[in-house]
Amino acid sequence: MTKVKFINGEIFIAGEFKEADFTVDTESGYFTINDNYSQVVSLSGKFVIPGLINAHTHISDLTANDKKQLTTITNEAELTIYAIKHLHELLSDGVTTIREVGAANNIDIKLAKLIKQHVIEGPNIIASGAALTITGGHGAGVIGKEVDGMDEVRKATRQLIKQGAKNIKLMATGGVTSNDQEVPGNVQFSVSELATAVEEAHNYGIPVAAHAQGNQGIKNAIKAGVDSIEHAIYLDDEAIDMLLETDTPIVPTLSAPDAIHDHKEDIVKWMYDKNEDVLIAHRHSIAKAIKAGVRVVMGTDAGTPFNNFDDGSTKELEKMTSLGLTSGDALLAATSSAAKALRIDDHVGKIAPGFMADFIVLDENPLANIKVLQYPKTVYKFGKLIN
């Protein structure tokens, strides 16, 4: 058993940096209080933060760079190869845990097991399997399983849990990218249908994330008791009050609409036009929610058009600060606050004994400049150097 003691570093603890030492058990991959170490590493002048958590990814989707080599996935072997590629890219950006919120062929559930067994290298995966959507709803036929009515929703939720899902994803509204007929304001699933999935998931201690862009769909999802609102494009005062009252966090995914906006010539017109309709409202809603004190969790929606895995997470943090989050709160949104939303805060998201030894070593203080996270950095996963 090899234990390594890291000394004299500035460690991110409860929103600020404090000089502290910590010990890593490289065999178990966890921080430990055991001082019977065999190696000492000085981190003098360095800043250390927990590994980042990206709470909204789609690793089975092809990015623009992928499509230069492959226009469509034709079998599960190709799907697996590209999903693993995306996992490696996330690691290089300092992301050591993801919540996958809709993957083809339940590939996230399968890869999560292989990572846990150390068969392949990648971030920890909180897998959802297929997202649940109504017939013809957002994500149908790609990453979604179509279900209608409380009985079908209940059975599908139970099936996903049986298959190994550690999160349930519900499509509560329409969106921008599915097809030219759908809009974010479309309400998809009733409150009763949403609440049925929440009840089944919570029976097993599993959280529920709701894709909710339109105002009424957001309110329906909050009423149903979901654990996070994804995107939150159209928030009015009532919706913000409901988020505060229930302490329901939002995952803004600012990178997704920005990426579409920045690639007008490469995006189909109907998608680009829909995205332009929501862009300003989205940023206004998130800024207003941040000012009101709504809890925010970092997620990028990586896998949507031109929304890459290799640098999107650290850029998302910068986008969040541009709308009012402090750098410290942005780091919490990608570490301990995200871990709480994913119900893994008993072992992920902090540099402390008993927690998974995932951490990043930086040359500069990210509280002074959040962009330093986009610079070259040293990433440790399971207590081992990965770059």
Indicate if the pLDDT at residue 48 is higher than 70.
yes
- The total domain count for the chain is 2
Tokens of 368: 């002074």
Closest CA to 361 of 381, 343, 341, 346: 381
Which residue range forms the structural domain that includes residue 312?
52-341
Check whether residue 29 and residue 82 sit in a common domain. Answer: no
My answer on whether 221 and 354 are in the same domain is: no
Is 282 found in the same domain as 298?
A: yes
My answer on whether 281 and 363 are in the same domain is no
**Active site (annotated) includes residue 301:** yes
CA distance 129 to 162: 11
Question: Looking at the structure, do residues 198 and 314 belong to the same domain, yes or no?
Answer: yes
pLDDT tens figures, 273-322 = 999 999 999 999 999 999 999 999 999 999 999 999 999 999 999 999 99
pLDDT at 76: 85
Q: Which of 46, 110, 145, 169 is catalytic?
A: 169
Query: Does residue 1 register a pLDDT over 60?
Result: no
Looking at residue 72, its pLDDT comes to 65
Same-domain status, 109 and 19: no
DSSP one-letter string for 278-300: HHHHHHHHHHHHHHHT--B----
Same domain, 275 and 180: yes
| Catalytic residue of the set 25, 108, 301, 310 | 301
Q: Is residue 24 domain-shared with residue 172, that is, in the same domain? A: no
Amino acid 1 reads M
For residues 359 and 50, is the Cβ–Cβ distance under 8 A? Answer: yes
Q: Let me know if 103 is exposed, middle or buried by CB neighbors in 10 A (0-12, 13-18, 19+).
A: buried
To the query of whether residue 113 is one of the catalytic residues in this protein, the response is: no
Per-residue model confidence (pLDDT) at position 285: 98
> What CATH number does the domain containing 354 carry?
2.30.40.10
Tell me what pLDDT residue 66 has.
Answer: 66
pLDDT digits (tens, 9 = 90+) for 205-216: 999 999 999 999
Same domain, 336 and 357: no
- Whether residues 46 and 141 share a domain: the answer is no
CATH code of the domain containing 194: 3.20.20.140
Half-sphere exposure of 305 (CA within 13 A, CB side): 18
The model's pTM is 0.95
